[in-house]
Amino acid sequence: MLATQTEGTMADEAPPRGVKQRNKIVMSQEEIDEFLQGRHSMTMSTLNADGSIHSIAMWYGFVDGCIGIESKAKAQKVLNLRRNPNMTVLVEDGETYETLRGVTLIGKAEIIEDPEEMFPLGISVFERYMAPYTEEMRGAVEMMLNKRVVVKLNVERTISWDHRKLGGGY
């Protein structure tokens, strides 16, 4: 069935093809912060020695107001970051096009190896994905961080989108 130009048809509601709607779906900093506080996993990407991209799903937490992860010190992602600190992470959700939303953070990784500096990230990850932290849990967090490092992302660029802002008119 062809769409006509009569009042109330889809032709009137949907924007013409090719119309830029990027600025309609960008999240505010407050929306980004709220979204990242949610209990999501993220895709973390680093560069392998041959230039290919190494992407892995990770749980994340926060350290010094920045996204951070804990990882085995000898993991490929950490080896990659020691060679080249460029790192990109993607946090997203949504089941359909009109519910897609996400944040991409691009920046430089800082590897933290001091156990005392690592501990706040350990608590953050523990609380986000396992259980509320109490001092009785200290041993569990210390064990989680054993032979590990913390990778803190110092963000240089942020890209965000929230298709829910389109109201179905995409």
What's the pLDDT at 101? 95
What's the pLDDT at 136? 85
169, 13 contact by CB (below 8 A): yes
168: left (phi over 0), alpha (psi -120 to 50) or beta: left
**Which of 124, 114, 26 lies closest to 66 in space, CA to CA?**
124
The structural domains of the chain, ordered by start, are 22-164 (2.30.110.10)
**pLDDT at position 4 over 60:** no
Residue 105's contacts (CB-CB under 8 Å, 6 or more residues apart) are 67, 88, 89, 91, 153, 155, 157, 158
